[in-house]
Amino acid sequence: MKAAAEDSAAASASPAAHAAVAARDVWRGFGRERVLRGVSLEVPAGGALAVFGPNGSGKSTLLRALAGLLRPQRGTVLVGGEELFTDPRARRRIGYVGHEPMLYGGLTVAENLRLFAALYDLAAPRPRIDEVCALLGLAGYRETVAARLSRGLSQRAAVARAILHQPAVLILDEPFAGLDPDAASQLAAHLDRFRGDGGTVVLATHQSAEAVRIGGEARVLGGGRLGPPLPLAGLDAAAVDAWYRGR
């Protein structure tokens, strides 16, 4: 009994047990191409990880696996300590923004958000929809059909969709792409508040300034593997650029 209790305590004290999102030895390929080769990572609650890497390095594949949109061929993804692909509660903790907005083009912004609110079974959807639209500067575009939104507004609407259900983890694939400076500042400010409230951010980016703005750590994905982390506290974009070139 004592040994079992000690084993249980050791498991609960392990880093992965306390990580908001974790990957353990994740492999993923397409055909004969191995895109991810034993990727492991841990990001704590309130933490952030910026994933760098050239085009085609597998950043989007990694983020889709972390978001539950692409099942690893080997390995495990944990969100809040729960296995992402076996426990439905884990998926609810995630908000995801990819290269596509994942909106229904024939519906208005408000109709899209009401639909996703229903899918997440939100108890009071209207105040929350009002809140995210105000937060992201979408109040004047609520009745605009999603297919008619500009690239920047479509990105804002995608972020609104991702944060609507108040997830604990945001998985963001180049979230600032297409945003004008004001919208980018609004998104960065929201991510600051999100992390301050204990939320966790994992983003793929090519821009050192974005990574520095969000904070946390940076890692480079190359050859299907993640390099060692770089703490971003106290660094500027030029220092991160130099580190990335060195990797």
- Residue 29 bridge partners (DSSP): 34
The pLDDT of residue 177 is: 84
Alpha-carbon gap, residue 130 to 60, rounded angstroms: 30
C-alpha atoms less than 13 angstroms from C-alpha of 20 in its C-beta half-sphere: 23
Residue 1 belongs to some domain of the structure: no
Q: Which residues in 97-106 are b (16+ Cβ under 10 Å) and which e? A: bbeebebeee
The least confident of 66-75, 106-115, 188-197 is 188-197
The pLDDT of residue 169 is: 97
The pLDDT of residue 107 is: 98
Alpha-carbon gap, residue 174 to 152, rounded angstroms: 13
Mean pLDDT, to the nearest integer, of 167-174? 96
Q: CA nearest 69: which of 105, 104, 98?
A: 98
Take residue 94 and report the two structure tokens written for it: 């995630």
Pairwise pLDDT comparison (5 vs 228), residue with the higher score:
228
The pLDDT of residue 12 is: 40
Residue 161 belongs to some domain of the structure: yes
Residue 114 belongs to some domain of the structure: yes
Mean pLDDT for all residues in the chain: 90
Residue pair 37/66 in contact (Cβ under 8 Å)? The answer is: no
Alpha-carbon gap, residue 160 to 197, rounded angstroms: 18
Residue pair 232/212 in contact (Cβ under 8 Å)? The answer is: yes
Q: Which residues in 134-149 are b (16+ Cβ under 10 Å) and which e? A: ebbbbeebbebbbeeb
Residue 40 belongs to some domain of the structure: no
Checking if the pLDDT of 5 tops 80, the result is: no
For the whole model, what pTM was predicted? Answer: 0.88
Pairwise pLDDT comparison (6 vs 244), residue with the higher score:
244
The least confident of 20-24, 29-33, 180-184, 242-246 is 180-184
Residue 227 belongs to some domain of the structure: no
Residue 14 belongs to some domain of the structure: no
**Cα→Cα distances 17→64, 77, 219, Å:** 22, 12, 21
Task: Give residue-wise pLDDT tens across range 116-156.
Answer: 999 999 998 999 999 999 988 899 999 999 999 998 899 99
Residue 224 belongs to some domain of the structure: no
pLDDT grade, residue 11 (50/70/90)? very low
Checking if the pLDDT of 164 tops 60, the result is: yes
Checking if the pLDDT of 30 tops 80, the result is: yes
Q: How many domains does the chain have?
A: 1
Q: Which domain holds residue 154?
A: 103-166
Cα-Cα end-to-end distance for the chain: 48
Residue 173 belongs to some domain of the structure: no
Q: 151-163 vs 125-135: helix axis angle to the nearest 10?
A: 140
The pLDDT of residue 201 is: 97
